[in-house]
Amino acid sequence: MFNKINLKKIVATSFLAILMSETLVMKSAISSNNDNLVDEDLVSVELVLSVDVSHSIDDDEFELQRDGYIAAFQDEEVQEAIKNLPNGLAVNMQFWGSKDVVDVGWHKLIKNDSDGINNLDSFIQVMDEVERNRNAKKVTVNGDTVKTGGGTDIALAINEATELLLNNNYEGQALVIDVSGDGVSDDTPYNSGTCSHTHVCPPVEEARDKAVAEGITINGLPIVNNQNIDNLTHEIDIHYETLVVGGEGAFVEVADDFSNFTTAAKNKILREITEAGERVEDPTSSNEVVYAD
């Protein structure tokens, strides 16, 4: 025989069951719309494209960099390499100078049942929509404007990229930072002054070593042009090779100038995608410098 107490228990139990059922439905709906959750967070490679937007890069050169990366991801050979990754590629792009750093957000690129690549179009679109105001030293991404500064602080770039890799919802089998720029780290605080083109810059080395200790590989894409230090040929690639790159299989891909940045970017990304999953077993292997054709 039911009494008021039993009736209350039945009502409470029924309400709790309904609430739990609705919660599970909500979680299921969220999971189906979010590619960052547990059932899809494993990726073959996590890649941060770290792009220099310091004052030495004018607006035309900024567009050449951005469009070069877009062209690389539109390239059939690069797309085929992404499709061949069993767990796909998680990729992000950040912009840095000497103050704040801004990124476009993570995109998981993986082959779909139609032989296309999920999220590729949205990644290309968000790169294409990035705006940069050189005089104001600002970059706008996804409607948010950040003052990146006019100096070149490569330590800042590496540290921020490292944070992006270590604090996201993916579990990458290989972690890679791809640093591109046209100058040495001339605005990295060091004691009472800043680092210079003498290739002595402890903060950059410390940032690199910290990243490498986390299992991250840092590759470099230095851009050699007539604004580089004292017009010394390939001075910047020495800076990158000495201070910036590190980790298993690290390499430097040199763009002789901004006009062949697209070729260098494609070669670099293609190599990073195809080789990152097959880590070099010998951690003492020397870094490699490659010049784009």
Q: pLDDT tens digit string along 160-170?
A: 999 999 999 99
**Spatial CB neighbours of 279, under 8 Å, sequence gap ≥ 6:** 174, 217, 248, 249
Strands annotated E in 183-274: 189-190, 193-194, 216-222, 251-254
Yes or no: say if 243 and 208 are a contact pair by the CB < 8 Å rule: yes
272, HSE (Cβ side, Cα atoms, 13 Å) = 33
pLDDT value, residue 293: 52
More confident residue, 33 or 105: 105
Residue 191 region, left (φ>0) first, then alpha (ψ -120 to 50), else beta? left
- CA dist., res. 28 & res. 56, Å (int): 49
- CA dist., res. 36 & res. 215, Å (int): 21
- CA dist., res. 70 & res. 140, Å (int): 17
- CA dist., res. 186 & res. 74, Å (int): 33
Nearest to 50 by CA among 157, 182, 202: 157
Question: What would the pLDDT profile of 40-75 be if each residue is shown by its tens digit?
Answer: 489 999 999 999 999 889 888 899 899 999 999 999
Average pLDDT of the chain, as a whole number:
81
- SS3 state at 77: helix
Yes or no: say if 41 and 238 are a contact pair by the CB < 8 Å rule: no
Task: Determine what percent of the chain is predicted with pLDDT higher than 70.
Answer: 74
> Which pair of tokens denotes residue 27?
């979680």
- SS3 state at 1: coil
pLDDT value, residue 237: 83
**Spatial CB neighbours of 167, under 8 Å, sequence gap ≥ 6:** none
Instruction: Write the DSSP string, 226-246.
Output: TTSGGG-TTHHHHHIIIII-B
Eight-class DSSP state of 131: E
Nearest to 36 by CA among 161, 164, 170, 165: 170
- Taking 50 as the threshold, does the pLDDT of residue 216 lie above it? yes
pLDDT value, residue 202: 86
- SS3 state at 49: strand
Looking up tokens 């294409």 gives: 128
- CA dist., res. 103 & res. 146, Å (int): 10
pLDDT value, residue 199: 72
- CA dist., res. 80 & res. 73, Å (int): 10
Tell me the pTM: 0.80
Kindly indicate the confidence band of residue 12, based on its pLDDT and cuts at 50, 70 and 90: very low
**Spatial CB neighbours of 74, under 8 Å, sequence gap ≥ 6:** 124
Kindly indicate the confidence band of residue 257, based on its pLDDT and cuts at 50, 70 and 90: confident
